[in-house]
Amino acid sequence: MKVSFTSSSLVTPSKPTWNGIMQLADWDQIGYISHISTVHIYKPPHKQENSSIAFINNLKDSLSRLLVHFYPIAGRLRWINGGRLELDCNALGVQFIVAETKAKLYDLGEFSTSSEMTSLAPRIDYENTSLEEHPLLYIQITKFQCGSISICPAMSHVIVDGRCASYFLAEWANFARGESLDFLPFLDKRILRAGEILTKPTPPNFVPFVTPPLLIGQKDVNQEREKETTVTMLKLTKNQVDLLKKAANETRPDKSSRPYSRYETISGHIWKCTSKARGHKAEQKTGFGISVDIRKRMQPSIPQNFFGNSTIDVVADACSGDLVTKPLGYAASRIRETIDKVDAMFVHLTIDFWKNQEDFSPFQDVHGCDEGPFYGNPNLGVTSWLTLPFLGLDFGWGREVYMGPVTHDIDGDFILCPDNSGDGSVIVRACLQVPHMKAFKKLFYDYV
């Protein structure tokens, strides 16, 4: 799909904001430190009082007013010693791009599998420009010939995690509709001990993360990384979700434990089906990556409006043979046990671990260069968007007709999203190697 760019400008806060250096928390500086994109597609309202020109101008104006409150995202990153980063809150602004295409919305076909979606995302030149030069937020607005519009924000993962990104977009939608903020952002990163210098050593037996296992007989992940993947979207009705939860809870190993959550149940089901579909040997170790929100796990808890990264990645493990032959409660229990170990003490020990690292660069995936942990075959990871306000964002044209990631092409990557109907159904976005997808889809519903 050919896209023509009509304008590109920096949007700055509409009022003066605090300027200075903000110390980043350790979580902000490890893992993926590039931009993460989502795309939101809207059809024009039946009444055309709100034209596309007025709609885009309002998006730009409301964004400028929003940046007064979310001023860190209008700043720039800079490298400091030890592969670490700091944030210069200088109000240089965010990039606002307007584009148009002669394509119509139906040309995208199935949104989730369309290769054309990347045309709707900002093109960020990582090759020829340094990290310090990049705005922390790029937004591309694309007008379709049929009158529809896509909004595609690309936000720096150094500044936000998924919860913060969705929170920012929800507040922008409020401003665009002429409403006020639901919550002021909590910007003080000292709550995660940002800037603190640690002098005590980390306990020698403490390891905050586990490297996911390799396929039996392989020495690295290169062969699996290169294999072709495919994407599908599978729907679980509320009744099917309830049936899975019933099956998991009736077979949980510890009958005295609290009932399994929707995430634990569906994720256990995915893990079980994936292990079977991949045809693993019974003794094959498989890792399950989980991103755990620590806001409520700290003492005292972190404010829910904290603006920054506040998740810990941990890995559950099991043998494929056990996952395939044992009931669903077993897979859910392995996930539960791993999540439960992330308590306040674990969080502080993890912070201590990172503060004792002299160089962060080995732990950073810079601009998607695939240096981080590999969750492809024999591993997987399930990210939940079920409680994030990504869906249903109304910027003045009503609810979107589609919302999702721009790209989703990494083997073993699964995303749980609420169905657009709002009836409690769940959409599972699945990416697997091509030879495994057919078997996975069959097992996914056979096991329900």
Listed in sequence order, the residues at least 6 apart from 162 whose beta carbon sits closer than 8 Å to its beta carbon are 36, 291, 311, 383, 385, 388
Q: How far apart are CA 244 and CA 262, in angstroms?
A: 9
User: 410 pairs with which residues across the strands?
Assistant: none
- Which of the residues 61, 88, 365, 394 is marked catalytic? 394
Kindly list the strands in the beta sheet with 4-11, ordered across the sheet, starting from the edge strand earlier in the chain: 4-11, 94-100, 137-143, 149-156, 35-42, 402-405
Going by C-alpha positions, the residue among 33, 344, 26 that lies closest to residue 190 is 26
Going by C-alpha positions, the residue among 409, 391, 294 that lies closest to residue 346 is 294
Q: Which amino acid is at 85?
A: L
- Which of the residues 69, 134, 157, 280 is marked catalytic? 157
For residues 412 and 290, the answer to whether their CB atoms sit within 8 Å is: no
> What does R_g of the chain's alpha carbons equal in angstroms?
22
157 in catalytic set: yes
Q: Could you tell me how many residues make up the chain?
A: 448
Q: Crossing angle for the helix pair 162-176 and 52-66, nearest 10 degrees?
A: 120
User: 205 pairs with which residues across the strands?
Assistant: none
- Alpha helix (H) residue ranges in 326-433: 328-340, 344-355
Q: How far apart are CA 95 and CA 17, in angstroms?
A: 18
Q: How far apart are CA 246 and CA 266, in angstroms?
A: 11
- Distance between alpha carbon 263 and the CA centroid of its chain, in Å? 15
- Alpha helix (H) residue ranges in 142-287: 162-176, 222-225, 238-250, 262-277
Residue 104's CB is within 10 A of a number of other CB atoms, namely 12
Q: How far apart are CA 14 and CA 179, in angstroms?
A: 17
For residues 78 and 85, the answer to whether their CB atoms sit within 8 Å is: yes
Composition of the chain by helix, strand, coil, percent to 5: 30, 25, 45
Q: How far apart are CA 146 and CA 424, in angstroms?
A: 31
Q: Active-site residues: which are they?
A: 157, 394
